[in-house]
Structure 1
Amino acid sequence: MIAVSVTAVGLTLLGAGYVATDRYGTGSTENNRDAASGRPAGGAPAHAGSSAVRSADPMPTAIPGLGPKTLAEIPAASRQVLVASGQAKDSSNSLVTLWSRQADGHWHPGETWRAHNAKDGWTGDHHAGDLHSPIGVFTLHDAGGFDADPGTKLPYDHSSSFHAGGVGFDGETLDEAFDYVIAIDYNRVPGTSPLDGTQPLGSDKGGGIWVHVDHGGPTHGCVSIAAPHMVTLLRTLLPADHPVIVMGDGQSLAE
């Protein structure tokens, strides 16, 4: 991976995210930061509505908004599906909902949370530094953060290296962006710390794509939600349920 120093914000780009100097001078991977207050991240998407949007059918047999192509990519063993649906192909605003499949095969939705994705929206052909979030279905195996494990069942790497520093695209502070992170298994080796920079597809395809704490603005490629929602998500995801994230703009996910 080729790292590019960005001295203006004290960051070094790494794939779709960045390696950032932490409070102790060590490096961390990835993207952005959130106001730990839990306020909706700045600029709520126009389609967001309530912060807890529910499906008209509370127990559907298929996840609403996902088309046959997208549904076919979800592993049969997955009983937890985190859907990050973007407002538009070129928008950095998203909605995130965790769906859980019950024993009878029906899907139950959790709350819907406002979120951010990459500055320039979404792409089905992600490359390092393109400021787009990758579209697709990706497994979720590993977590970590600057803050201590809040009670997740996922493997959790508690490290001072999870600290971004600097500012985001809108001038917002990134200090707490990596307090909690979940690695999205895009161009990475599952079963390793989110800080592991190994990229099996090569550095050109980017990497360091995480779900992390929202900082009130667009990311370089990650999905970000408010800190309290990250804690809820970390405590809810179960390795035995083979969680995945389905991410992309709404139109693409409907295919």
Structure 2
Amino acid sequence: MGTAVALAGLALPLTACGSSGGARPAAGATPPAVRVAASPSATPDGRLDGLSQRWLAKIPAQTRQVVVAYGDGVDAATGKVTLYQKTGSRWIAEASWDSHNGRRGWTPAHHENDLRSPEGVFTLTDAGGVLPDPGSKLPYHQDPAFTPPASWGASHRHDFDYVIAIDYNRVQGSSPLDARRPQGESKGGGIWLHLDPGKGSSACVTLPKAAVKQLLRTLDPAQHPVVVMGDRADLAKA
């Protein structure tokens, strides 16, 4: 949708994913390999892979697009993200990518600076970045204020070229830069899907640039997209 928005007076919440407790890749660190499904494929039973009924019940009935972030372990910073779309009554896995998350893993009770990503089901309503809108279906807020501070180092220069806000402790319908936190500062916030710098983040889920662009061009507000995110074992637990 491509509307540039400047939010004067709102603090920049880059510390959620940046150098304030965030991991800095070593020089020359390489982003994870892209692992993409060769072609869209139905899951064996037409359901979302690896999610127990406990998690499936949290997905809104009207949702027809789901991004699942499967963590490799409760204390692991690595994982895989899969994009699913619903066709009729069946879920189709459109693509998958290697990913990173909070460098200390996952938690069901995220708080500021715990270096863990929050587990849960969250809507995806807003996007933005340093670069111009690549064709996003979500409202897109281009703003130079997304540029990471120079003090973070060259390896983080492009982290926020494109971002998708995860609706954890934020005001929906606003730029991802909006730092308002309805549940309070102690619960953390500023948690995004964004470009992967090669290692774990403070709390965000990070992906290759091509993956974030594909998500921007695919996720459609009319399909009520959500992200389901957490440790793979917990996502499967009844």
Structures share fold, TM-score greater than 0.5: yes
Of 8, 16, 31, the residue aligned with 1:41 is 31
**1:77-136 C-alpha deviation (Å, 9 max, x unpaired):** 10000000000000000100010011x210000111001001100000000000000000
Among candidates 173, 193, 199, match of residue 155 of structure 2: 173
Aligned-partner Cα distance in 2 for 1:40–1:60? 36
Report if aligned partners of 2:64, 2:225 keep a CA contact under 8 Å in 1.
yes
Q: Which residue of 1 aligns with 2:235?
A: 253
Equivalent pair of 2:17/2:191 in contact (CA under 8 Å)? yes
- Between structures 1 and 2, the one with greater helix share: 2
2:8 alignment partner in structure 1: none
**92, 105, 108: which one pairs with 1:124?**
108
The corresponding residue for 2:9 is none
**1:114: which partner in 2?**
98
Change (3 A) 1:56 1:153: closer
Relative to structure 1, the CA distance from residue 55 to residue 145 in structure 2 (aligned partners, 3 Å threshold; closer, same or farther) is: closer
Shift of 1:173: 1.1
1:222 aligns with 2:204: yes
* Residue equivalent to 1:62: 47
Note if contact 1:40-1:226 (Cα within 8 Å) is conserved in structure 2.
Answer: no
Tell me the residue number matched to 1:161. Answer: 145
CA shift in 2, pair 1:41/1:129, >3 Å: same
Count residues with an aligned counterpart: 223
> Which stretch of structure 1 is more off in the superposition, 86-95 or 51-60?
51-60
Counterpart in the other structure of 2:167:
185
How far apart are 1:17 and its partner, in Å?
Answer: 3.4
1:137 and 2:121 aligned = yes
- Structure 2 gap segments, 5+ residues each: 1-11
User: Aligned match of 1:147 in 131, 147, 150?
Assistant: 131
Percent of aligned pairs sharing the same letter:
45
Amino acid at match of 2:212: M
1:72-87 matched pairs, under 5 angstroms: 72-87=57-72
SS of the residue corresponding to residue 193 of structure 2 reads strand
SS in 1 for 2:49: coil
Matched, 1:237 2:215: no
> What residue ranges of structure 1 are gaps of 5+ in the alignment?
1-11, 21-30
Q: CA offsets, 1:132-167, max 9 Å, x none?
A: 000000000000000000001110000001111457
When normalised by structure 1's length, the TM-score is: 0.79
- In the alignment, the residues of structure 1 paired with residue 23 and residue 163 of structure 2 have an alpha-carbon distance, to the nearest angstrom, of 10
- Whether the aligned pair in 2 keeps the contact of 1:182 and 1:212 (CA below 8 Å) is yes
TM-score by length of 2: 0.85
Match of 1:208 in 2: 190
Cα 1:224–1:136 change in 2 (3 A) is same
SS across alignment from 2:124: strand
Instruction: Tell me by how many angstroms 1:32 deviates.
Output: 8.1
Rounded to whole Å, the distance in 1 between the matches of 2:211 and 2:168 is 22
The one-letter code of the counterpart of 1:218 is: G
C-alpha separation in 2, matches of 1:108 and 1:214: 25
- Conservation of the 8 A alpha-carbon contact between 2:84 and 2:95: no
Q: Distance in 2 between matches of 1:123 and 1:136?
A: 9
- Contact 1:137–1:245 (8 Å) recurs in 2: yes
